Structure 1
Amino acid sequence: MDTTDARTEAVSTQEFWDARYRAEEQVFSGAPNAALVRETADLVPGTALELGCGEGGDAVWLAQRGWTVTATDVSSVALRRAADRAEAAGVGDRIDWQRHDLAESFPEGTFDLVSSHFLYPPRPEGREPILRRAAGSVAPGGVLLIVSHAGMPPWESAPDPEFSFPTPEELLAALDLPAGRWEVLVSETYQRPVTDPEGRPATRPDSTLKLRRRTQD
C-alpha cells in the first residue's frame, strides 16, 4: 500500500482501494518484494501473516516455499485477484485470504512470520498501533518483518509536509516492545532500485526492521 494514495475523506478506505484496483487490470508486478526474499531465505517455513497483501505476490511466493499463509487486505478486488493468482500457481490451498481494515479488525492467532511491506493506513497516526498489534501476533521464536519507505521518491516535486518517515530505530522505539523479549536481526536504511514515472531507472530510500521474538518471555 502506498504512502499517500489512500488518504481520502470522501470514500471509505475499502472503496478507495477497490476503485484503484478496478482502474487497472494489474496494479503491481506480481513479483515478491525484494526485502521479503532477502530476509526470509534462511527461515524454516511455518505459518505466516501478511499485512496489506494487495494482488498476492508475496503471499504466493511464501506459499510456494512451504509457508502456510494468512494474507489480508482491505480491498475485496485485490483479494479476488490474489486468490486467482494463487490457484493458478497451485498454492490456493496454502493461503487463507481475509479482508480486514487493520485499523478496525485484525486476523486472529499467532504466526512464525508477520510481514508488513509498505503498509500505510489513510491516517499516518494509525500505522504504529497496527504494527504494535502485528508484534503481538508473532509466536515465540517467530519473526516480525517491517519494510518501510525511508523518504519520498526523487521525482516527487511536492511531498506532503505532514508525512514523516521514521528511521528503523525510531520505529522500534514506537513499537514499545517489552525489554529483553525481542532480538534485533536487521535495522537498516538503503536505496532500492525503482523505475520513475517516465520509465527511467532510479532509486528510492527504504528501510528494513527485522525482529525475532525470544522463545522465553
Structure 2
Amino acid sequence: MSGEAARTLLATEPLTAARALLGAHFTANGVAVRIVEVEAYRGSADPASHAYRGMTPRNRVMFGPAGHLYVYRSYGIHTCMNVSAGLEGAGWAVLLRAGEVAGGRAAAVDRRAAARTDAALGRGPGNLGSVLGIGLGDSGADLLAPGAAISLTLAPPGAVDDAAVRSGPRVGVSVNADVPWRLWLDGSPAVSTYRRSPRADPPRG
C-alpha cells in the first residue's frame, strides 16, 4: 500500500501508525529494506519525544502531515529515521529501528562493511540509516509522493500476522522508559537487542 491510502493509515495515533509500518518496504539510494522494528513517540505527552517541548526548526517535520521523513543524529554520529504520524500539529512520529535488506544487497554491504551478517546490516536505527544512505538533508522528504526517490510502501492489510507482532519497552530512553511502545516482528534476526538506558528510573512495580 502506498500513496494517500497509506497517508490516511499513518494519520492516526502513533502506536497504530507504528503497527502499520511493520512489514513496510523503505527504499532509498539503491537499497530496499523491510521494516521489522519500530518505536512510537507521542509528542507533548511523551517526555522521551523530540517534540515534547514544542516545535523547533529541527523537529518541525514531526508537526507536519503524516508520511514525511524526520532525520536526526544520535550522539552526533548515527543518522536515525522517523516517519511523521497523526494529524498536522500532533508532533507524533515513529522511529524506524531495524529492517531486513530486501534489495540492493551489494550497495548495503558497501555501506555497512563492518556488519558480520546480512541480518546485522540494518539492525538498529543508526545502522538502518547508514545502510539506506540517509543524511540530515533528507529530513522532510515526503515518503508517499508519487515517484519519490526515498519512498515507503506499507504492507497490504493482513500481510503481517498480528500473532507475529511483539511489544515491549523502548530502547535506550531515560524517561518514560517502561511504556511498551516498541513493536517488532517475532523471529526476525534483524531485530535489535533490548538495552535499557542506565540513566532510566528503576522499573515500576
Does the pair score TM above 0.5?
no
TM-score normalised by L of structure 1: 0.26
Higher-RCO chain (CA-CA 8 Å, sequence separation at least 6): 2
Which of 1 and 2 has greater Rg? Answer: 1
